Chain A
Amino acid sequence: MLFYKKLLKSIPLVAVVVFLYQGNSQSIRKNYQEMTTYEKTELVNAFYQLREGEDRITDMSDFHMNYFNFDNIDPNRLDIHFNLPEEPEKEIFLAWHRRFIFEMEQAMQDINPKLTIPYWESSVDQSTTSSLWDEDFMGSFNSNWNLNRNLSSFGTLPTQQEVDNMLAMTDFFEFSDFFERQRPHSGAHRWVAGPMLTSASPRDPVFYLHHAFVDKLWHDWEEMHHSSSYVRTDMIRYDGTYVFDGQTIPLVNPNDIVDSRALGVFYAEDGLATLDNYIVSNTYNPEELFYYQYTIEVGNNFIAPENTTSKMESITEVVLKPGFFAESGANFVAAIDTETTSLLAARSMVKKERKKKPFDDVQLDQVWLWSEGDIDPNDPTVVMQTFPNPFDSKITIKLNKKRDCVIEIYNMTGQLIKQEFFEFTNTLEINNLFGLSSGTYFVKVLGGNGETLVVKKVIKI
């Protein structure tokens, strides 16, 4: 922790910002198969709600249609599709659709902040009887919105091999051109049919799930190659002049969103969401909420600065790793969502099997003896309270003054079970304690120089 702290202090803020993203919203996007029943129900309801009143669904669909492509009318006019390879100066396909589904996601989060747009992995999930098309998920829109889908009649979905080969391409424009024109993107448009076949495709809600997958693949590509770059510095609809429902949509430079963290967007996969290289900013939402029913791992330069509010919420576990900072004055909470679990989600929740469990690496050789007490003998001003005690899945530790510290949890035989780092704070929440068996544990608070401040015995029920 000291290392990171010194690193942060020694680098001017400008330099730090180069590799950390200041997001203006938040979301953990997941495969729709990893949504709880609660999330699915809320997503479907949100789509229906967004079609009412000002009707953002139709506005977005009309825009997509009206600016789809102008090559048949005026090849010099700006549009959103099919500009590569001949017109790199007009190209915005991936960035535009990233911003477009983000607009939809923000509208959804105004309805329910827990919502994010899930993705449909069309290279794997290819059955016409997949749960994607269940009547209580994407299925009901077909009749209710007169979509006339015709699944699997036109064209085929991409293979995993095609996607893997595409991700290995090194030139950004070659990658983008292949992506847009070939099956990784166009496959689902043809395969679903109905409006998805046409330039009015955003009228079908599955458009957003498909484009979340397209966006995830671009994210995966960019994490590997770090070379997405546009000639253009502006985009239609996101040019600072477009007004929807009385609100001017801000201007976006496509080069500013080549990393999805710039929008606060992270992609979870196979039961794990890794949140890194990000600064909480609350630009869009007063609380940044990162919600995922499986494991959320936060670390590697994830910073919750002073005066920001953010929350990690999982049904399973939140793991805080080295490189995570909750700075002094940050309101940061990592919590287990018991409310949703006990409601709708309980019915759908299946614990995801991961290869490694959180406590697999604990060594069983060292025996420690502890002197107990709430007061640090060397600094009587350090007072620790732990509650609840006995605890179940979460302990909150309150210190009487803010300080840099390390919290370590040991079992009775002295095995280090858990270690978390906190910067200048006095309220420390440790979740993710499901894996512990019942019994006695010790919570040890170490100061910034590694000295033991206080130790306390706690009971796990």
Chain B
Amino acid sequence: MLIWYCFAVLCFQQGFSFKIVNKTPYAITNIRLYEYDMHIALSPNEASAVKTLSLSPEKAEGSSVLMLFAENTNYGIYIENPQSGKKYTYVIDSIQPKRNNIFISTIIEEQK
């Protein structure tokens, strides 16, 4: 049991880090990613602190959805599945409140 547990943690859990950058002219609140509530508000051009998580591949795939609230609208967007050892910067490039559009880009770097 113990051996299996260690094996599972070492081989299947993936550690990765991420942060979120707000490039829009709007304030963004209620940010939730990987079922993790960030409990921050990002003003225009503000970036969050870096957060490190460790998730099983299945959990990572199944929870790679970014939710956020801006201009009285709740936005949800699927994001890339994170991989172990990588650092992800999710840049919220723009929000078009009248058209319910949200555009994000992802910068992926090797974790140092």
Contacts and interface: CB of A to CB of B under 8 A. Distances in A.
A81 B75 CA distance: 13
A330 to B, nearest CB: 47
Interface string A131-161: 0000000000000000000000011000000
B37 A72 contact: yes
B61 A186 contact: yes
A167 to B, nearest CB: 17
A56 to B, nearest CB: 16
Contacts of A199: 74-77
Nearest to B80: A154
B19 interface: no
Contact of B67 (A71, A155, A195, A200): A71
A73 interface: yes
Contact of A72 (B58, B67, B80, B101): B67
B95 to A, nearest CB: 11
Given A71-B67, A72-B32, A73-B30, A182 B61 contact: yes
B35 interface: yes
Interface string A157-171: 000000000000000
A440 interface: no
Interface string A198-240: 1110000000000000000000000000000000000000000
Contacts of A178: 62
Interface in B35-70: 35, 37, 58, 61-63, 65, 67-69
A69 B65 contact: yes
Interface in A371-408: none
B61 A183 contact: yes
Contacts of B101: 195, 198, 200
Nearest to A66: B74
Contacts of A72: 30-32, 37, 67-69, 74
Nearest to A177: B62
Contacts of B32: 71-72
B69 A73 contact: yes
A291 to B, nearest CB: 35
Contacts of A62: 100
B12 interface: no
Contacts of B58: 182
Contacts of B76: 65, 68-69, 81, 198-199
Contacts of A66: 73-74
B8 interface: no
Contacts of B65: 69, 82
A341 B97 CA distance: 47
A181 B61 contact: yes
A70 interface: yes
A20 to B, nearest CB: 37
A200 B78 contact: no
B68 A65 contact: no
A70 B62 contact: no
Nearest to A156: B81
Interface string B7-39: 000000000000000000000001110010100
A236 B68 CA distance: 21
Interface in B91-112: 100-102
A177 B35 CA distance: 14
Contacts of A81: 76
Contacts of B62: 177-178, 181-182, 186
A190 interface: yes
A203 to B, nearest CB: 8
Nearest to A196: B78
Given A71-B67, A73-B69, A200-B100, A190 B78 contact: yes
A198 B58 CA distance: 20
Nearest to B101: A200
Given A65-B76, A198-B102, A200-B101, A71 B61 contact: no
Interface string A436-450: 000000000000000
B67 A198 contact: no
Which one of B61, B69, B74, B75 has the highest number of Cβ atoms from chain A below 10 Å of its Cβ?
B74
A72 B20 CA distance: 15
B56 to A, nearest CB: 12
Nearest to B32: A72
A330 B78 CA distance: 50
Interface string A26-66: 00000000000000000000000000000000000110011
A262 interface: no
A78 interface: no
20 contacts: A61-B100, A65-B76, A66-B73, A66-B74, A69-B67, A69-B76, A71-B35, A71-B67, A72-B37, A73-B30, A73-B69, A155-B80, A181-B62, A182-B62, A183-B61, A189-B78, A190-B78, A198-B101, A199-B74, A199-B77
By Cβ-Cβ distance, the 5 closest A-B pairs, closest first, are: A181-B62, A199-B76, A72-B32, A72-B67, A72-B30
Interface of A: 61-62, 65-66, 68-73, 81-82, 154-155, 177-178, 181-183, 186, 189-190, 195, 197-200
